[in-house]
Structure 1
Amino acid sequence: MKFCVVGINHHIAPIALREKVHFKETDIIACSEQITGEGIEECIIVSTCNRSEIYFMSRDVIADCGRIKQFYQSYFQTPIEDAFFIEKVSDDAIRHLFYVSVGLDSAVVGEDQILGQVVDAQETAINIGSTGKGINKIFREAITFSKEVKTQTNVSHTPVSIAYIGVKQIARFVDLKTARVLVSGLGNMGRLAAVHLMDSGAEVFVTNRTIENSYKIQRERPGVQVLPFEKLKENIERVDVVVSATSSPHVIIKEEHVAGIQKPLYILDLSLPRDVSPDVGEKENITLFDIDSLQKISEESQKQKKEILDGYRDAIETKIQEIQSWDLNRKVDPLMKSLNERCDEIANQTLNYIFRKTELNHSEQKKVDKIVRAALKKVMREPILSLKEMEDFAKKESVIQTLEEMLTK
């Protein structure tokens, strides 16, 4: 089987499309079950604010990649041009997963959250039973490698999440030490933003549909003030900056929520799907930043981190070769079993013929039996051992395929 990935990400798909094909947590279980119920044996869904990607193992790459593309369009009821899909197979797909996990493929290079999101995606898939030995091996190698890189380089010691970059962008326009900021939504992104804002000296108000989450962060950071989620318009009117990071599938902040705003208001929308209607950003006195508009921020910081991570590209290529070698070698073991079974069949037929044509006693038959079986297994074993040691992966795969076809006839 081939390791594949098909999906949508920030490199080629605009945010207007990405927010339509974003997998919520509740989607992932149902979608994984549907995908694996349609002939694809193993799959893992990675869904973040910048990407919606389905990784899977395939016996028929062309058919299965087409099936996944059609699944995106039918499940989300959204037509998607083929040009907006990424589609990678085998080495390219493994390389892509490594780049994603280590932060090389992120909108903000080296960002902190993506590795945890990849780990969570695999754990979810394992729990719902949509993975197998092959895909788990590849994800495990990518995760382990990425953890080692982050430890060796300390690349995560300087925060570079979208939340951090967003706060830094707001700080270009507002003195955060005197600013009043509302953070709406207290998932990972919202909490990160709230912490960065407090560390910058801002007066922070938080609001969340589940009010206990607001009180939880207030207990951790006593300076935080809790506001009722139901009074969103009034909450917005009392602050200078709004950071919205909910997991709502629908727009939260609309034009009516900012009607009558006379003073400058800066809104940071960290959600996907977007929390803030694009029309809000067209209002006078309001400046709106969304995820895509933050990608060009802090280019120098990203450049430095990219240079560090780029130094690991050769190591990634080595890991890809090791994974491919492991994958091919695990195909050799079933071949060995099939060949041993075939040897036994030939030995049985040969010995039956010899014993019918000769008058050997029991002791002599045992000796002949041992000689024949040992000779056959030696003939079969040496080519298999040579196959395992073969370094040309393309030739090795071709030989394995030929042997598999021969043994199934």
Structure 2
Amino acid sequence: MRFSAIGISHWKSEVSIRELFFLDAHRRELLEFHTKDIPGGILMMDTCNRTELYAFCDPDVLISALCKSTNTERKFFRKHGYVYTEDEAYDHLYRVGTGLDSQVLGDVQIVQQLKQAYKKAKGKGLSGEFHQLIQSVFRAHKRSRTETNFGKGTASVGFAATQLALEHFKDLSKIRILLIGAGKMGKVSAKNLISNGAEHISVVNRTIDRAKQLASSFDIKAHAFSDLDEEIKKADLVITATGAKNPILHTEHFEGVDHHQLVLDLSVPRNVDPKVAKIEKISLIDMDSIHEANEKAIKEREKAIPEIKAIIDEEKSDFIKHVKRSRYLLPRIKEIEHRFNDITDSELSRVKNKMDQESYSQMEEVTRRIKKKIIAIHIDRMDREFEKAQDEA
């Protein structure tokens, strides 16, 4: 069965389109239902910049499942999404896993997101071939960091947000910052802001305990969600990073603000109603507007791209060769084992009643060892046949 990858991402679709394919818990359940019969399992990647499905099946199966689960039209997906099969699909997964396909080149968050997706997929069941593919992608990622300069410097979305704040305010030590959301992006943002001089940070979260937990980690202030309106009016910089399915900030939240504010919306679906951008004193930047903040790091990473592609080619080639070898050897090994079992079982049954139990057990063990060694000779022979066939191909 051919390998397929389908998806929608920041490269082709703006955030308003990507939101339509966002997989919340309910949609994920629907998607799992519509893909439950796919042999080998399915990998679902869902981040702020992309929604992607990978599986060993026809891509139309994945498109149909995604559209049914998100209540979208196949024609609409075809217009805004992308479809890859076989070699292109493998290439795409390796590019995603190494960070070549990230909005911020080499973003280290992507491999963590892939690991989370893999962990969930394992829980639902993946084929051995699928496991081998993902492990190969992880090796490519690790090699890209240890053998090249691709991982040098910091260029994550959270860091880019800090750079935008620095460009806007110059000095972060005097501005009042409000973080809305105490999840991973909120933590990354808080860490980057503090390391760049921010001293007045508050965090608001729907769950006050999570806000307090984040606040205690970075010695910042935590507020209940009921304080949101008041805290927005105080802030110079507002950063939103929550998992809300619909905008949580609207124009009315900014009524009465008497100073200029920078609002960074780091969420997909968007946390801030686009109409907020029309307010005179508000500068709104969403995920589609975030550019590379660390130009030096990006340039260094760009130089390493040929090396990363070479690593991907090596890892992909090794994986495909391993798969071809398994597909060539396994059916033949099973056939040989089956024939040996028939022969040894038949011969042993003839003498079983003529021997005492101890002697018979010894004969069984000797037979098992002989059979194992003969099969090993056959495997070695078939391995040479496979290598010869590969060389001649």
What interval of TM-score do these two structures reach, taking the shorter chain for normalisation? Answer: 0.7 to 0.9
Q: Is 1:132 paired with 2:130?
A: no
Match of 1:265 among 261, 265, 271: 261
Decide which moves more: 80-89 or 183-192: 80-89
Which whole-Å CA distance do the structure 1 matches of 2:189 and 2:390 have between them?
50
Amino acid at match of 2:274: P
8 Å Cα contact 1:325-1:393 kept in structure 2: no
Distance 2:203 2:223 in 1: 6
- Say which structure, 1 or 2, has more relative contact order (CA 8 Å, 6+ apart): 2
For 1:393 and 1:100, the matched residues in 2 are separated by: 31
SS at match of 2:168: coil
The number of residues matched between the two structures is 360
Q: State the one-letter code of the partner of 2:289.
A: S
Q: Distance in 2 between matches of 1:339 and 1:144?
A: 33
In the TM superposition, what are the counterparts of 1:190-339 in structure 2 within 5 Å? 190-202=186-198, 203-222=200-219, 224-295=220-291, 297-337=293-333, 339=335
Deviant stretches of 4+, over 6 Å: 341-344, 380-383
**Matched ranges for 1:137-148 at <5 A:** 137-148=132-143
Q: Which moved more, 1:49-58 or 1:140-149?
A: 140-149
User: Identity of aligned pairs, percent?
Assistant: 24
Asked if residue 166 in structure 1 is aligned to residue 161 in structure 2, the reply is yes
Structure 2 counterparts to residues 341-360 of structure 1, below 5 A? none
RMSD of the TM alignment (CA)? 2.9
TM-aligned CA deviation for residue 338 of structure 1: 5.9
Give the aligned residue type for 2:201.
Answer: V
Q: What does residue 13 of structure 2 align with? A: 13
One-letter code aligned to 1:389: E
Displacement of 1:325 after TM fit? Answer: 0.8
| Alpha-carbon distance, 1:129 to partner | 2.1
Q: 1:388 aligns with which of 386, 389, 392?
A: 386
Corresponding residue of 2:178: 182
Look up the equivalent residue of 1:24 and give its one-letter code: D
Deviations 1:290-327 (A, max 9, x none): 11100355445323212224312112111111111111
**SS across alignment from 2:202:** strand
Mind listing any 5+ residue stretches in structure 1 that lack a counterpart? 348-376, 396-409
Closer, same or farther: CA 382–232 of 1 in aligned 2, 3 Å: closer
Distance 1:394 1:246 in 2: 55
CA shift, 1:125, in A, is 1.0
| SS state at 2:43 partner | strand
AA aligned opposite 1:42: G
Q: Which amino acid aligns with 2:53?
A: I
Which of these residues, 101, 106, 110, is aligned with residue 110 of structure 1?
Answer: 106
CA distance in 2, matches of 1:390, 1:44: 34
User: Could you tell me how far 1:286 is from its partner in structure 2?
Assistant: 0.5
Counterpart in the other structure of 2:3: 3
Confirm or deny: 8 A CA contact 2:152 2:297 kept in the other structure: no
CA distance in 1, matches of 2:385, 2:245: 52
In the alignment, what sits opposite 1:405? none
Structure 1 327/94 Cα, relative in aligned 2: closer, same or farther at 3 Å? same
Q: Does 1:52 align with 2:47?
A: no
Question: Any idea what SS the aligned residue of 1:4 has?
Answer: strand
Distance of 1:304 and 1:394 partners within structure 2: 40
Give the 3-state SS of the residue equivalent to 2:103 in structure 1.
coil
